[in-house]
Structures are given as C-alpha cells and as structure tokens.
Structure 1
Amino acid sequence: MNWLLVIVGASVGAPLRYLTDRAVQSRHDTVFPWGTLAVNVTGSLVLGLLTGAATAGAATSHLQLLLGTGLCGALSTYSTFSYETLRLAEDGARFYAAANILASVVAALGAAFAGVALAQALWA
C-alpha cells in the first residue's frame, strides 16, 4: 500500500514540475533557471508544512508518503538544480550560477522554515 501512495503522489508531482518549470521559464527572457527555483521552493514549502503537521500529529504517515515522498520527491529536483548550475558556470554565466546557488539554498530553506512555522501556528 505504501508504494502505491508514493506512485500516486509522484504521478502528480512529476508532470506538475515539468508544466510549472515550462510556464515560469517561458515568462523570463534569461538563462537563469527560474522554473527550477520555483518548483524547489514550492516543494520545500510543502515539505515544511507537512513536517510541521506531522510534528503536531495532524498528518498521518500515509499523507507523508503521498505528499512528502511522492509529490514533493517528484516535484522538487536537486539533480536539475545541480545540472543547471553547472551548465551556467560552464557557459560563462558564473554570476547566474552563484546567484542560483545562493537563491536556491536561501529561498528553499526559508520556505521550509516558513512551512513549519505556519503548520505550528495552525495545529499547535
């Protein structure tokens, strides 16, 4: 049963990642990977909310598998972040590569902390 929850979550997360990335990136005329940043920050926010909810006893292990492992695992992508950062550096866009690292780490961690805080406010 657990594996099915992960598959269902991932079957939503993967296409959502692709569609969100394309929609966000198409609105920006730059080499900076805004789409990947958007999905990674969103995934971090959802994981923060889920973690806070689980800590408060408001999220079951099944919900954690469905949303945390399945949806967020397929939605967020460290490998694409790494690849795009390396590609930027290799193409001579070192400023964008450094900005991507800084923005991704700060924004994703901030979103995760904000999600936990919001969940604690809602369920504590």
Structure 2
Amino acid sequence: MTELSATDPTDPDVDLRIPDQRRELFREHRAVLAVVALGGGLGALGRYGITQAMPTAPGHFPWATFCTNLSGCFAIGILMVLVTEVWSAHRLIRPFLGTGLLGGFTTFSTYTVEIHDLLRPGAAITGLVYLFATLLGALVAVFLGVTCARITFLRKKIRRVQR
C-alpha cells in the first residue's frame, strides 16, 4: 500500500498541478463550497452565542461545549433521517445543514483542547468525566435524533400513504 502525500489529488481524475483542471474542479464545486461556508459561519455564530451565555471557569466542566456538541449530534441524527429517508432534498441541503451549519456548530476540536486543559492535577477527574460523557452522550444523541425523526416523520408518511 502506498502512502498519500499532501500533494496527491483527492480526486484521482484531477491533477491539481494543471490550471484548467483546478478551475474545472472549482467551477463544479463552488456552490457546495459556498453553502458549506455560509452554513459553517452561521453554526459558529450559534456556538459562540452559547459559549457567551454559559461561560466556563478554568478547571470546571465545560457545559457550553458539552451541550453544543450533544444538541448538534441530536440534530445531525434528525437531519440524516430527513435527507435520506423522508425528503427528496436538493443537492445543497446536506452540505449546507450537515457539513456547514451543524459542522460549524459542533466543536470537537474545542472539546479536545478542554480535555487537555482539564487533565491536570486538581481537575483530572472532571476531564475524564467530560471525555467519556461527551463520547457516550454524542453517540446516544445521534441515536435518539435518528429514532425520534423516524418515529415522527416516517409515521406521518405511512399514515398519508394508508389514506
């Protein structure tokens, strides 16, 4: 197996060293890039608002990040059911809402920094609780989001078909 380098193309049919192919790649994907950027900015603003409303003192459990990540995971579970099982969604809905909005809203990079900061003498127990509570909570939140969406939206869809 060969190792990939940073200069290897992500699409084997595109050679990014060739200007025409770079332009073609951008032209084909500019709408996706735009909606991901817009959604990411909006999601980050939402996350910023929560961190301002729920500040965390050093050495304490970071409730803002915890709540943000779990609610974002719950929303991702709902979204994936909607775009894969309920709607015939426009091709830009998933990149805008999933990758952009919810990707910008959730913040697992901040989560790792906060764990690193908490894993010091005096706060290590809090750090370990935060580490495992977020991992378990995120998985449960996605599962609950998927389950709630299926119960809510697919039940309504079945009723409509039966009429």
Is this a same-fold pair by TM over 0.5? yes
Give the Cα–Cα distance (whole angstroms) in 1 for the partners of residues 97 and 74 of structure 2. 12
Q: Does 1:41 align with 2:100?
A: no
Number of aligned positions between the proteins:
123
Moved over 2 A (4+): none
* Distance verdict in 2 for CA 1:123–1:59, change over 3 Å: farther
CA-atom RMSD in angstroms? 1.9
Contact 1:58 1:123 in 2 (8 A): no
Contact 2:51 2:64 in 1 (8 A): yes
Aligned to 1:31: 60
Higher mean C-alpha deviation, range 52-61 or range 92-101 = 52-61
Larger Rg: 2
The CA deviation at 1:30 is 6.6
Gaps of 5+ in 1: none
Moved more, 89-98 or 38-47: 89-98
In the superposition, relative to structure 1, how do residues 77 and 29 fare at CA in structure 2: closer, same or farther (>3 Å)?
closer
Q: Which residue pairs with 2:26 in the alignment?
A: none
Higher RCO (C-alpha under 8 Å, 6+ residues apart): 1
Please give the alpha-carbon distance, in whole angstroms, between the structure 2 residues aligned to 1:37 and 1:59. 32
Q: Do residues 21 (structure 1) and 20 (structure 2) align?
A: no
Q: Which residue of 1 aligns with 2:94?
A: 64
CA contact 1:50–1:59 (8 Å) conserved in 2: no
Identity fraction in percent: 30
**Contact kept in structure 1, 2:39 and 2:97, CA below 8 Å:** yes
What does residue 150 of structure 2 align with? Answer: 120
TM-score, normalized by length of structure 1?
A: 0.89
Q: What 5-or-longer segments of structure 2 have no aligned partner? A: 1-30, 155-163
